[in-house]
């Protein structure tokens, strides 16, 4: 297993639908068990941390006014560990935790913002975590489509966010299809 195996399940520039996307930071990849921070708080004690051989994250891709695409990938040393991780990363509990984590990150940027609600529903590809928050400018909604993608011994979590309306389903399908096209994948 190599670092590239974890990178296989995260989005790249070429995967993004349409034009106008900007990478606002750099992704990362690493060998060993130094997993992506956003996953650590949400995976729980049953996550197979000891079996992690590589991790990767895409840049945060944004397209104004309110779209976001980001992904995290983890490669494991066995099929059993990958299956255990996939089970956790496809759960509604994980989606709810990730939604709350992203909501709190957004609220941290504005000291007077208040998280009002997080709701998770199953979709054809995974889950949608929607939340609303309020500040002096009013109430706004954010929708994250969260999809787990498995390719061999790697599993990734892709989230596609938009404000106001949900991320277009055709664009989520495009992203998933592009990532899956890199190997023999299951979602």
33 pLDDT higher than 60: no
Percent of the chain with pLDDT strictly greater than 70? 78
pTM of the model: 0.85
Q: What is the pLDDT of residue 29?
A: 66
Neighbours of 67 (CB within 10 A): 20
H or E element in which residue 130 lies = strand 127-135
Q: What is the pLDDT of residue 136?
A: 64
For residue range 157-173, list pLDDT tens digits in order.
Answer: 999 998 888 899 999 99
For residue range 78-104, list pLDDT tens digits in order.
Answer: 999 999 999 999 999 999 988 888 777
* Bridge partner list, 55: 30, 74
pLDDT band at 118 (very low <50, low <70, confident <90, very high): confident
Q: Where are the domains of the chain?
A: 3-186
Among candidate residues 88, 55, 87, 74, the one with its CA nearest the CA of residue 154: 74
């Amino acid at each position: 297993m190599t670092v590239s195996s974890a990178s296989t399940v995260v989005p790249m520039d070429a995967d993004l639908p349409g034009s106008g996307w900007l990478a606002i930071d750099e992704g990362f990849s690493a060998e060993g068990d130094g997993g992506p921070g956003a996953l650590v708080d949400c995976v729980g004690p049953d996550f197979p941390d000891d079996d992690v051989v590589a991790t990767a994250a895409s840049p945060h891709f944004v397209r104004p006014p309110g779209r976001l695409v980001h992904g995290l990938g983890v490669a494991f040393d066995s099929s059993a560990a990958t299956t255990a991780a996939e089970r956790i990363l496809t759960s509604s509990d994980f989606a709810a935790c990730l939604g709350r984590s992203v909501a709190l990150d957004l609220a941290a940027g504005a000291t007077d913002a208040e998280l009002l609600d997080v709701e998770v529903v199953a979709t054809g590809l995974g889950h949608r975590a929607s939340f609303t928050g309020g500040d002096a400018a009013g109430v706004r909604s954010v929708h994250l489509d969260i999809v787990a993608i498995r390719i061999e011994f790697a599993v990734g979590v892709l989230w596609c966010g938009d404000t106001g309306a949900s991320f277009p389903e055709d664009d989520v399908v495009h992203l998933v299809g592009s990532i899956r096209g890199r190997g023999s994948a299951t979602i």
